[in-house]
Structure 1
Amino acid sequence: MDVNDFQKAIAVARGEALAASLLASAAIRALFSMAPSQQLLDHMTRSIDQTLNMSGPGTGGGEDELNTLMRETARFQVDQHMHALQEGLNNLPKGR
């Protein structure tokens, strides 16, 4: 398969986004390992959701398909990370 310049640019952008996501996730996990807090997780979840909602509809829309796709992809990724953080909080060793 021949890869054109556009495909290479998309792959680089996706790689950069993945790296940023992994680094942010590692930083948040480190924070929760030092100070696990349901209130902090709830605040982060609300803040991120509000930010995504301010940038457009939470259910998608045909008026701007690419921005909607980007926003809803971000929402899906955030939901996955927040779920994993919640699982981590739920499974902390007793006494923490």
Structure 2
Amino acid sequence: MNLTEQALGITNVSFKDENTIILELSNKRFISIPLDDFPEITVLSNEEKEDFQIIDDEYLSFVEMDEIYSLKELIGLQIRLKQSPATSETHTSFIA
């Protein structure tokens, strides 16, 4: 069963500290996620971190950033590979 079949979504976002984001999910669970793989979020000020948008219960965006993060990406079901300096391509893969 995948996230869509379970109708799992993001209902709220908070930060435990500068390196940990906490997602509240529609099933009333909380997921604490280290931001090691999302350094662009860690550089946001506390005020900028609080200025977020939840889109369609499945995506998270911060007003000060162009990036949109999927729930799958944040919880590790989707692996985002960093852009290679030798090419302009970014590759994304999914864990089955």
Do both share a fold (TM > 0.5)?
A: no
Q: Which has the higher contact order (CA 8 A, sep 6+)?
A: 1
Higher gyration radius (CA): 1
Where is the helix percentage greater, Structure 1 or Structure 2?
1
